[in-house]
Amino acid sequence: MKKVKSKIASSIKSKRINVFLLFLLFAFIILIFSKLSKEYTNTVSFEIEKLNVPEEQVILNDSTTLDITLKTHGFKWLNYYFEKPKIVIDFNKDVTKTESVYIYSKSTAYLNNTQFDKQVELLSKSPDTLVFRYDVNLVKKVPVKLNADIKFSAGYNITKPVSIEPDSVVVIGPHILVSEINSLETEKVEFIDIRQDLQEKAKLKLPKHSADLKFSTSTINLRATVEKFTEGTLKVPIRTINVPDSISLKYFPKEVNVSYYVSLDNFNAVKINDFRLVCDYAKVKGNQSFLVPELIQFPETIKNPKINQQQIEFIISK
């Protein structure tokens, strides 16, 4: 019997609490509506939305906001807080063009009548005049330079340079800015211990004032075919050049070893005739008794060619 009484009592108490909370909620809603229905004065920064800008021109980002003091009810202010307000400027009819700038100096009355409804009263704006610098659009195609640090695993390398796509970017913007751009570099990318083909993306390092410019792309694709490499060695004959006709030059040895790295696929394709090793007699100084061999031609498929002998002895007989 006691349990039944306690349950009934707790039920009555909980209902009283629920009714109290309900009345409290209604009171809060009425208070909010009462506050929002009142008029308030405040200053808000309006973003500038530009319409009908001539295609051959670009507006530089000088004037981006307009501070406007308004008087309106709370519901309208609530909209401004949830959504960034904008002022629309039509470059066909709202601005005056001079030799280097557009000037916007519309009165508060004009703004109040054209961009705000009857529930809003525009009291003031700052600055009173907006100035927009403009320039003629320039379209320019510039090369892309890859800034990459690639380290291969031992015994691996690439036979062809890393390819980038696209290898150039179209830049559109004010002549004064675009004319200074001659190339675009990527942000630095690093690859360590590479032994498989590369297929990655890299972002472009955009210049200052990039907000005033348009780019055909902001990223590039880089690709490289990675192959297994091995060391090769060939005995290459030496040729002398710039030897005067009045002397007979004898030198030893007549050929030296040239070592290099080459991919396994190209190992058998490397031939002696692909190399040109010369000693230039015109570079002999004073009583120097040796020639210095120079490798002036070698296959594109090899890496790090190295002459294994740096001095070639010679004698002169007339």
Instruction: For each of the domains in the chain, give its residue range(s) and CATH number, in order of start.
Output: 39-128 (2.170.120), 137-224 (2.170.120.40), 229-317 (2.170.120.30)
Nearest to 76, CA basis, from 125, 109, 41: 41
Token output for 180: 């200074």
Could you tell me if residue 202 is left (phi over 0), alpha (psi between -120 and 50 degrees) or otherwise beta?
Answer: beta
Token output for 294: 């120079």
Q: How confident is the model at residue 40, as a pLDDT?
A: 65
Q: How confident is the model at residue 152, as a pLDDT?
A: 92
Mean pLDDT of 63-92: 75
SS3 (DSSP) at 271: coil
Backbone Cα Rg of the chain: 39
Burial 247-277 (b: 16+ CB within 10 A, else e): eeeebeeeebebebebbeebeeebeeeebeb
Token output for 297: 């031609």
Of the ranges 98-107, 116-125, 171-180, 257-266, which one carries the lowest mean pLDDT score? 116-125
Mean pLDDT of 120-148: 86
Determine the distance from the C-alpha atom of residue 244 to the mean position of all C-alpha atoms in its chain, rounded to a whole number. 57
SS3 (DSSP) at 24: helix
> DSSP secondary structure string, 40-56?
EEEEEEEEEEEES--TT
What is the maximal distance between C-alpha atoms in the chain?
139
10 Å CB burial of residue 291 (0-12, 13-18, 19+) is: buried
Determine the distance from the C-alpha atom of residue 94 to the mean position of all C-alpha atoms in its chain, rounded to a whole number. 35
Token output for 37: 């229905």
**Maximum average pLDDT range among 3-17, 30-44, 93-107, 266-280:** 266-280
Cα angle: 225, vertex 228, 229; to 5 degrees: 110
Is the model more confident about 260 or about 121? 260
Could you tell me if residue 193 is left (phi over 0), alpha (psi between -120 and 50 degrees) or otherwise beta?
Answer: left
**Maximum average pLDDT range among 20-24, 31-35, 251-255, 283-287:** 251-255
10 Å CB burial of residue 300 (0-12, 13-18, 19+) is: exposed
- The model's pLDDT over 253-275, given as tens digits with 9 standing for 90+, comes to 999 999 999 999 999 999 999 99
Cα angle: 3, vertex 6, 9; to 5 degrees: 150
Mean pLDDT of 199-218: 89
Indicate the DSSP class of residue 15.
H
Q: How confident is the model at residue 12, as a pLDDT?
A: 47
Sheet of strand 163-165, all strands in order from the earlier edge strand to the far edge: 163-165, 219-224, 198-203
Residue 23 has pLDDT above 70, yes or no: no
Residue 14 has pLDDT above 60, yes or no: no
Strands 312-317 and 248-252: antiparallel
The partner residues of 191 in beta bridges, in order of sequence, read 150
C-alpha 299/C-alpha 272 separation (Å) is 10
Q: Estimate the crossing angle of helix 74-82 against helix 2-36, to 10 degrees.
A: 90
Model-level pTM?
Answer: 0.56
